[in-house]
Structure 1
């Protein structure tokens, strides 16, 4: 089977999932023919992705999230305005996606939450079946818990997810744990797609807390938290330092952001403090590390992740760098939930292969809309 990838290139999450999925399908004997990666400001695909992906990569201009330069808070209105301002450019990207499907002749398109992929299928209706993979699709599950209030953020989040999946044969919702499928919405719950470098590690338990943030404000909060707990060893990976190791005092060390060194530290830490990005929380969960999840300001999706992670037993959410919450949680952390997560992850290979076979074997007419996901009820 020939498979073409569409990948949202903002951040590491969807790119990492695409790399893992490429390894999975090639292990099963399928061929990955290429990836169209949505990027902002004409940037190339990140080096870690281009160096590891097994097929040609084409970067495409695509809408990206806009954050406040000082607070790092997500700005939804500026994000929407920026997308409208560059609509003609993004329309060209949609035509490029359509042309790539026609020229490469894949048997299947797999979309990792790239908005322009869904819009291409909505407007141009390619005949090649498409499936969509992202943890965001869990928002369409009736059991999913949203943060209290914020009805506008909730509706926009679901609308965006809906548009990325326009025309999809099936939605694969990455989840912390096993939940029932929702057949009327063509929604299937599947395990996360994790980096091979993470799942091949044997975790140990050290005495230090590991922190990761790209949010400058959280570094200041970290220093205050460190001053309240000066005897607690901490290692912090953040964008404010370029040094591989910068010792601040006897118990606090800064590190430049580096994926490999971060995994090395996660393997042996006592607990993890991070933003509520899905992949980093899943990696900590797989390695049995309790997590303090701090959503970025105004980032509704990360607020959802933190709440869902708390439900699954991963850790506790917090609006600030509050180490006392994590210290209170650690004695209550149940290692059995990590074991169940690892077992759930182990089912992924067969569930994903079954999904791509269903999509290709489907007798549904091309262009038909995706069941209940196209109704207004999904925005409630």
Structure 2
């Protein structure tokens, strides 16, 4: 069986999850990999058959997307060309992790495809979302960015019968969590210098910030700042007291799996992150929405009084992939 696995390359979560899924897919046939996007800090160890520009957003420094930089890297003519030219007909099974080029190519050519992603969980109305009084255009973007009809989803809890708990990477499962008392920070849409100035005000606490916006390490009083590095971040996470992070999916899931406290600050104007943070809030995890005058007191309160939320994330990746293959082959 010839299988194509198309992976979103914006952010680190999709590729991190794929690194654990790929070995299982390879057991069922000849596997080709496709990645589109430009904003990941981790990479695959396996060869990639198709590396496409895709349609990515660029993280800003003020809590949201950098719209100007996103516009500058946009290349819609190339995306349309890729949609038309991908040789999808040679595959017996196409699996998509929120990758738009393959998704739209399959939709326009009426080629069957199955979603395998966190975003697939939003096909269910049972998946938590913030309450809104008006129709949300961001929900439409999430639905049509990489459209799928058949899907296997992942989320913090099993909100529906096709939704599974998170894929926790093998390298995270093999860590031995300890508590050295520091707090790890991953907020890629914020400027590290601004974060350091704020977090240094939480005295008596060590902070380890991992930033997309710096290429060298530096320190400011009780704050250490590092460029994003997978191995260094995993080490920090395994030995921290808690994780201060955005509204992503894999990062909070891994921290919860390791028994760490979590504080979430979702990106502004990013519906999926707003939804993820709502799900975390319902689980009892504190959520902040901006770096305002209440930020430092709220973080200090979390450090002093925050509690860990227990989760059960068993290793079900092999059975999830086997069930997918048996159903859609």
Normalising by the smaller structure, the TM-score range is 0.7 to 0.9
Deviation at 1:142, TM superposition (A): 2.5
CA distance in 2, matches of 1:67, 1:208: 26
Counterpart-to-counterpart distance in 2, 1:230 and 1:319: 22
Give the number of the structure whose alpha-carbon radius of gyration is greater.
Answer: 1
**Residues 273 and 215 of structure 1: is their aligned pair in 2 closer, same or farther, counting only changes over 3 Å?**
same
Tell me what 1:71 maps to: 62
2:84 aligned partner: 95
Rounded Cα–Cα distance in structure 2 between residues aligned with 1:158 and 1:134: 17
* Contact 1:39/1:61 (<8 A) preserved: yes
Mapped partners of 2:6, 2:137: distance in 1? 24
Residue-pair matches, total: 325
Structure 1 residue 162 displacement after superposition: 4.1
Matches within 5 A, 1:105-184: 105-126=90-111, 129-149=112-132, 151=134, 154-162=136-144, 164-166=146-148, 168=149, 170-181=150-161
- Corresponding residue number in structure 2 for 1:256: 227
| Paired residues of 2:36 and 2:99 also in contact (CA < 8 A) | yes
Q: Give the CA deviation at 1:293.
A: 0.8
Q: Structure 2: how far apart are the matches of 1:277 and 1:60?
A: 23
Q: Which residue, 28, 31, 39 being the options, matches 1:30?
A: 28
Q: What secondary structure, in the 3-state scheme, does the structure 2 residue paired with 1:285 have?
A: helix
Q: 2:327 matched to 1:358?
A: yes
Aligned with residue 246 of structure 1, among 218, 228, 235: 218
Q: Does 1:189 align with 2:163?
A: yes
Partner SS for 2:163: strand
Separation in 2, partners of 1:48, 1:232: 29
> 1:267-278 alignment to 2 at 5 Å?
267-278=238-249
- Separation in 1 of the partners of 2:166 and 2:219? 35
User: Tell me, what secondary structure is at the counterpart of 2:43?
Assistant: helix
**For residues 12 and 268 of structure 2, what CA distance do their matches in structure 1 show?**
19
Aligned to 1:365: none
Q: Distance in 2 between matches of 1:87 and 1:72?
A: 26
Tell me, yes or no, if structure 1 residue 18 matches structure 2 residue 18: yes
SS of residue in 1 equivalent to 2:7: strand
Runs of 5+ unmatched residues, structure 2: none
Alignment of 1:166-245 (within 5 A): 166=148, 168=149, 170-181=150-161, 188-217=162-191, 219-227=193-201, 229-243=202-216, 245=217
Question: Could you tell me how far 1:328 is from its partner in structure 2?
Answer: 4.1
User: Match of 1:317, SS?
Assistant: coil
* TM-score (structure 1 length as normaliser): 0.76
Q: Is contact 2:41–2:228 with CA below 8 Å preserved after alignment?
A: no
Q: 1:123 Cα shift?
A: 1.1
Alpha-carbon RMSD: 2.9
Does structure 2 retain, via aligned residues, the 8 Å contact 1:139–1:158? no
1:231-281 deviation digits (Å, cap 9, x = unpaired): 1121111234433x53322x2222221111000010010001111111111
- Aligned counterpart in structure 2 of residue 316 of structure 1, from 275, 283, 286: 286
With over 3 angstroms needed to count, the CA separation of the structure-2 counterparts of 1:204 and 1:108, relative to structure 1, is: same
**Structure 1 or 2: more helix by fraction:** 1
Deviates more, 1:113-122 or 1:136-145: 136-145
- Matched-pair contact (CA < 8 Å) for 1:66–1:75: yes
Residues 73 and 199 (structure 1 numbering): CA distance in 2 closer, same or farther, change over 3 Å?
same
Larger mean CA deviation between 279-288 and 9-18 belongs to: 9-18
Runs of 5+ in structure 1 lacking a partner?
182-187, 361-380
User: Is 1:57 aligned with 2:27?
Assistant: no
Deviations 1:300-337 (A, max 9, x none): 21111111122234x211123535445545656345x2
